[in-house]
Chain A
Amino acid sequence: MDLLNNLALGFSTASSLANLFFCLIGVLLGTLIGVLPGIGPTATIAMLLPITFQLEPVSSLIMLAGIYYGAQYGGSTTAILINLPGESSSAVTAIDGYQMARKGKAGAALAIAALGSFFAGTVSTFLVAIFAPPLTEIALQFGAAEYFSLMVVGLVSSIALAHGSMVKALAMVVLGLLLGLVGTDIYTGTPRFTLGIREYSDGLNFVAVAVGVFGIAEILRNLENEKSRTVLMAKVSGLMPTKEDFKAMIAPVLRGTVIGSVLGILPGGGAILAAFASYTIEKKVSKNPQEFGQGAVAGVAGPESANNAGAQTSFIPLLTLGIPANPVMALMIGAMIIQGIVPGPNVATEQPALFWGIIASMWIGNLMLVVLNLPLIGLWVKLLTIPYYVLFPIIMAFCSIGVYSVNSNVYDLYSVAFFGLIGYVLSKLRCEPAPLLLGFVLGPLLEENLRRAMILSRGDPSTFVTRPISATLLFIAVVVLVIVFLPSVKAKREAVFQEED
C-alpha cells in the first residue's frame, strides 16, 4: 500500500513539533487576515516570503499553506457575523449566513460553516493524496501545446463563472493579458511596453499588481463608507446547530465537496468559482428555493464546503504540474523556488517528505481550524473594532515593505500605487479585479506556450488538435463556453447574481 506508506511519511513529517508549530502559526495568521478586510492571503504570503528563507522548506510551505486555508475560514466568520466577507470566496457565504445571524442563529451558521469546511477539507485532502500521483504520470506528457490548451480552459472558465457582468469580466481578463505583455519577449529579447524603464524589463511585478488592485483598492473603498461600518455584535448564542440543521446540511456539504474538489483543480478557478457554482446548484435542487437569501442552511453549508474543498485541491496542479491554480498558488511556487525546489512533476518523487508532509498538514491544519475557530470568534470580531485610521496605515506600511523586499526595486512600489488607483476605479465601475489578475498570470503562459508549440511543430497549428490531451482540453473549453451561452443557463446565472446584490 504505497498510499498508506506515503500518508504515514506525510503525517510523521507534518506532526514534528516544529512543523505543527508553523502550521499553527499559519492557520492563526490566515484566520486573522481572513477576518481583516483588505489584507488577504496574497499580500500576507508575499510579505512573509523573505522570512521563509530562514526556515526549512517543509516548514515554510506548511505555514504558507496554513495561511491560505486559514484565510478561507476567517473570511467566513466576518461574512456571517457582520456581512463583510473578509475573502472574496466567502462572499457567497455572506448571503445566507448573515441572514441566519440576524435571526439569532449566528452560532449555528458559524458551526455549519466550520463543520462543513472540515468535512470538505478531510475528503479533499485524501483526494489530493490519491489523485496527485497519477496526475504526476500524465504531467510529463504535457508539452507546450497541452499547456496552451490548459490555459485556454482556465481562462474560459474564469470568464464563465465570474460573477457580475460577463462582458466586464471578459474586459478584465483582456486587460490582464495586456498587462502581462509588459517586459522582455523571451523569444526575441525585445522589450515590450516598458516605457524605456529597464526596471520593468522583467515585466510588472505580480505581487505589486496584486497588492495594488486588491489591498490598496480595498482600503480606498473602505475609507469611503467609514461611518456605515458598524460592528453588529450579533448575539452568538447556542453554538450547536439543531437536528434539523444537521439534516439540512448533509446533502449540500457532500455536493459542495464534490464541486469544490473538481473546480479547485482547474487553473484559474479554485475556491471562488466553487462557492458560486455550489450556491447555484443548491438553489436549483432545493425544494424551497424561496428560502435562499433568507437564511437557508444549504446556502451556507454548500458554498463553504465547496470553497474549502477547492482551496485544498488547488494544490494538485501546483504539486504535480507546477502550475498555479490561482494567485496564492503562484506565490507558493515562488516560495518553493526560493527554497531551491523547482515545482514540477518530480516534486512528489524527489521530495516525498515535503510533498506528503504538505498534504498531511492540510488535514492537521483543518483540524486546528475547527478547534480554533469557534472559541475565538469573540476575539476576531474585536479586531474589527480597531479604528481604521490605525489599521490602514499599518496595512499599507506592511504591503509596501512586503513588495519592496521581493526585489529591492522602487519601481515595484510605483506599480503598487498605480494599480491601487486602477483597482479603485475598476471597483467603482463594478469590474472584478480577480479576472484581471488571472489574465495577468495566465496571459504570459498562454503566449509563451502558444509560440513554443508553434516553434516545436515548425509552424503547423494542427498540433493543438492532433495531440490527444491538447484536443481534449480544447474540447472542454468549448463545452464550458457552450454551457455559459445556453440561454437557460444564462438566465439562471443572472438570477443568482441579482440576489447577491
Chain B
Amino acid sequence: MLATAIILFREVLEAALIIAIVLGASRGIAHRGRWVSGGVGIGLLGAAGVAYLASTASSLLSGDGQALLNAGILLTAVGMLTWHNVWMASHARELRAELNAVGAEVGAGSKPLTALLLVTAMAVMREGSEAVLFLWAIAAGGGESSSMGVGALVGIAIGVLAGVLLYRGLLRIPVRHFFSVTSWLILFLAAGLSAQAAGFLNQAGWLPALGHGIWNTSRWLDQNSLSGQLLHILVGYTARPSGIQIVFYLATLLVILALMYRPRWRSM
C-alpha cells in the first residue's frame, strides 16, 4: 500500500506543482479556474487515451513513438509557458501604465487563458497516463488490489495537497513581488521541461546525447530523494545530465529571458 501511495504521489506531484505555479502566475485573470478545470479534464481524457495506446504492444506508442509524444507534450508546455511569461511581462507594464493614467482595469484577453489550459492539459496528460497504466497494472495484478487502491488514493491526495500548499505559499508573497516571483518560477520550470524533452528526443535517436552524465551531483543531492524530486520538477534538477539536456536548458533560459526583456530594450 505504501509503495503504491509513493508511486502515485510522484506521478501526481509533478502535475500538481505545475498547475499550482500557473494558477499563481495567472492570479487576477478572470475565469482562470474554469480554464484550468477544462485543462485537467482534457488532460485526463488524453491520459486515458495515451495509456491505452502505450499499453498496446503493436501501437505507434511503443518505443520511439512514446518518446516523441512525450517530447512533443513537453515542448508544447514549454512553448505555452514562454508565451505566458512574455505576455505577462508586457501585460504588467501595460497594467502599471493604465493604472497610473486612469486607474482602469486592463482586459486580460484570452491569450494567457489558452496557455493556462494547454499547460494544465499537458501536465495532467503526461503524468496521468503513467498513473493510469500503473493503476491498471495493479488492478490486473489482483491480490491485494483493495489495499493498493487505498494507497493510490492516499498518494493522489498527498500529491494534490502539495500543489495546494505551494499555491497557498505563493499567495503569501507580497503583491509587489508576486509576478516577478512567478515569472522566475515559470522560467526555470520551462527550462527543466525542455531538458526533459531533449532526453526523450535523444532516447528516440533524433538528437545526439553529447555525452551522458556530463557531471554527477548525486553525492550532494540524490535525484531519488524527496528534495531531489521536488527540485527536478521545479527547476529541472538532474544529478547526471547529458550534454544535449544542458544545451536545451540553457537555450530555453536565454530565449525566454530575451523575449521577456526585448520590449524594454526597444523602448529604452
A and B interact: no
